[in-house]
Structure 1
Amino acid sequence: MRRLLFISLCLLSLSTQAQSLLWRISGNGLAKPSYLFGTYHILRDSYLKGDSLTRAHFEQAEGVVVEMVFDTTERAKVIQFSTMPDNNLIRLINANDYKLVADEFNAVTGQELSFYNQIKPVIIATALSTAYARRESDTLTRFTGQPIDLFFVRQTQAAKKPLLGLETLEEQLKLLYDRQPVEQQANQLVQMVKHHNETTTRKGPGLTDMYLKANLDGMWDLFQRESDSPADLYKLVDDRNVRWMSQLRTIMAVRSTFIAVGAGHLPGPNGLLKLLREAGYTVEAIRNKEAEPDLARVK
């Protein structure tokens, strides 16, 4: 079940990493340091009330880089990539499995699956996974506001600072919604629902708790257990990191930059932390004593 949630999170890690979500990048000719922060795409921005260093480095940066900057004029592309005009979920799975998924979708999200029959199965699965995460983590539901990635974008735009996206909307939509045939997406959706109870009864902390503790090793271990396709990991993480690095080197040479990308892009054999070090930069973890938020303050 969690594998489809990991599509938006992209968690890939290298063992024995320092446990931090915020990293200082210096050296290799940089006039000023830049900062790399691993986000959690379903996290709300009140999280930053308990992470004063991340907030401070974001506000002090001369420019900001995110994975993608959404332009409202591109809404038609979202519809194009997210829908199945010539297909629907009822055709893709048998009647018994459809009822199973529909009942679960209604119970978890409070919505009728029939309204979304022409939406690609991977989007339905992601919505379910997000609902599971919020229901299963009391900590996550305490955060309020807008999604943290969107917060970084809007605050940067309001401050009229340089804002750059590492990918276009079309690149992200192709990766997330067209990487697999809809038949395969439908099968994964059914399997996610069928095995949900099995995955949620496993012992140990969940993904949200590991993120909030900056437990990169734990997230990697969990992801390894849930992922079964090295080729998929390459498309989601490694290939993108290599492409992003060529852009980041030029951007950081121009100005001190706050870089906010999914946490899974930081560690790993081809993660940004390793790629930055291999390129000659000094990459240091910033440990914030307030980074594990006082939940009484973020309600």
Structure 2
Amino acid sequence: MANRFKPVFAGACAVALLSGLAACGNDDTAPATSDPHDISASEGDDTPEAEVRRDKQDIIDEYEEALAEARTTSGSGSPALWTLSDDDTTIHMFGTVHILRPELEWRTDEFDAAFESADKLVLEIDMESEEGMRAMAQDFQKKGLYQDGRKLSTELSSTDLEALNEALKPMGIPATSFDPMEPWMAAVTLSVLQLQSDGFNPDSGVEKTLIADAREDGKTFGYLETAAFQADIFDTLPEDVQEEFLYETALALPESSQMLDQIVDEWADGDVTGLGVLVANPDTGGGEGIYDALFLERNSNWVPQIEAMLDEPGTVFIAVGAGHLAGPDSVITMLRDEGYEVEGP
């Protein structure tokens, strides 16, 4: 595959493997509904000239190629778990999916033993405290909404706007409801709405489950980065990349839940190699600095923090998006390259 950004993968993966919008999507990203017949009044001669866009079949073919490669490998039959330890510290690392179907059973005895032994739960960002959830909503809204009076429907080309309108028709939501949003926010919001309508629920995501259990157990909490940092990853994308992200997310929206089901299958099987192909692959997430920003740079930032945890005695359970623990530049690979013995696949 060519080394360029593939927005269709981000559409299904971003809400599943990043924290922010899947966590606050229920209330803070959903646009208000209105007359379903009210499509954007801004279509016409004043819309920007359309970029050259791929058609839907190209997008699906590309995904199917990656899926076929992912399915050539298999895992242990349950989500992967890793352990790093020294004389007085044990660090368990577990890859999460932030939005899941409520009926999915993913916990194992091995997982429960590791989690129950931990004194501290470390997450990507603060999704536990009221202050953290407030900051998450504020940061994503501040960075995901236009601050200069622009409107999405007047910024998009007629091609991109038509794709958005078609994606929203089954939901009964007019494209003008997305007008306050920058294209990246509209793309991820669209994905969240579709996944939720198809039975996925952020409240069933791994983090929400672990936070509730950790509170009950009296564990302390730690965080590797901020919601503002996560929002910046998308907010600093070039406008044309954001627009392509929105276009391809809209075009492949009917298939997005099936895609996520297949990604979750790889995760639930513990197929770290297959998950890397689908989610954390430089060939499908590269170009325009996307792969570096989503995975390489963040993983590099996290490794020193994990190393520092070895200086404090006790047991820590780290739960981060599964894509960070898979692929050629995973946290696990980086730790092993530093000479650490990390137990696990």
Regarding TM over 0.5, the answer is yes
Q: What residue is the counterpart of 2:144 in the other structure?
A: 82
Q: What residue is the counterpart of 1:2 in the other structure?
A: 9
1:33 aligns with 2:40: no
Q: What residue is the counterpart of 1:229 in the other structure?
A: 287
> What secondary structure sits across from 1:118 in the alignment?
coil
Q: What residue is the counterpart of 2:162 in the other structure?
A: 99
More relative contact order, 1 or 2 (CA 8 Å, 6+ apart): 1
Deviation at 1:67, TM superposition (A): 0.4
CA distance in 2: counterparts of 1:220 and 1:281, whole angstroms: 21
Quick one: which of 195, 198, 213 aligns to 1:155?
A: 213
- Paired residues of 2:266 and 2:274 also in contact (CA < 8 A): yes
Return closer, same or farther for 1:18/1:128 CA change in 2, 3 Å cut-off. same
Count of residues in correspondence between the two structures: 274
Contiguous gaps of at least 5 residues in structure 2:
1-7, 19-69
- Paired residues of 1:46 and 1:145 also in contact (CA < 8 A): no
- Paired residues of 2:81 and 2:92 also in contact (CA < 8 A): yes
1:211-226 to structure 2, matched below 5 A, reads 211-223=267-279, 224=281, 226=284
1:260 aligns with 2:319: yes
Q: What residue is the counterpart of 2:343 in the other structure?
A: 284
- Paired residues of 1:89 and 1:186 also in contact (CA < 8 A): no
CA distance in 1: counterparts of 2:232 and 2:126, whole angstroms: 16
2:327 is matched by which residue type in structure 1? G
Deviation at 1:275, TM superposition (A): 1.9
Quick one: which of 245, 252, 255 aligns to 2:303?
A: 245
Deviation at 1:237, TM superposition (A): 0.7
Q: What residue is the counterpart of 1:173 in the other structure?
A: 231
1:4 is matched by which residue type in structure 2? G
Q: What residue is the counterpart of 2:328 in the other structure?
A: 269
> What secondary structure sits across from 1:281 in the alignment?
coil
TM-score (norm 2): 0.67
CA distance in 2: counterparts of 1:270 and 1:245, whole angstroms: 11
- Paired residues of 1:45 and 1:151 also in contact (CA < 8 A): no
Deviation at 1:173, TM superposition (A): 1.5
Return closer, same or farther for 1:151/1:195 CA change in 2, 3 Å cut-off. closer
Q: What residue is the counterpart of 1:189 in the other structure?
A: 246
CA distance in 1: counterparts of 2:74 and 2:339, whole angstroms: 18
Deviation at 1:201, TM superposition (A): 10
- Paired residues of 1:48 and 1:54 also in contact (CA < 8 A): no
1:88 is matched by which residue type in structure 2? K
User: What percent identity do the matched residue pairs reach?
Assistant: 21
Return closer, same or farther for 1:277/1:262 CA change in 2, 3 Å cut-off. same
> What secondary structure sits across from 1:258 in the alignment?
strand
CA distance in 2: counterparts of 1:52 and 1:131, whole angstroms: 33
Return closer, same or farther for 1:50/1:246 CA change in 2, 3 Å cut-off. closer
Return closer, same or farther for 1:253/1:264 CA change in 2, 3 Å cut-off. same
Moved more, 150-159 or 258-267: 150-159
Return closer, same or farther for 1:144/1:241 CA change in 2, 3 Å cut-off. closer
TM-score (norm 1): 0.76
1:89 is matched by which residue type in structure 2? L
CA distance in 1: counterparts of 2:295 and 2:326, whole angstroms: 10
CA distance in 2: counterparts of 1:57 and 1:170, whole angstroms: 30
> What secondary structure sits across from 2:88 in the alignment?
coil
Return closer, same or farther for 1:145/1:188 CA change in 2, 3 Å cut-off. closer
1:23 is matched by which residue type in structure 2? L
CA distance in 2: counterparts of 1:130 and 1:42, whole angstroms: 9
> What secondary structure sits across from 1:229 in the alignment?
coil
Deviation at 1:272, TM superposition (A): 1.3
Deviation at 1:119, TM superposition (A): 1.4
Q: What residue is the counterpart of 1:289 in the other structure?
A: none
- Paired residues of 1:61 and 1:256 also in contact (CA < 8 A): yes
Deviation at 1:191, TM superposition (A): 3.1
> What secondary structure sits across from 1:256 in the alignment?
strand
1:219 is matched by which residue type in structure 2? L
Deviation at 1:258, TM superposition (A): 0.5
CA distance in 2: counterparts of 1:162 and 1:265, whole angstroms: 23
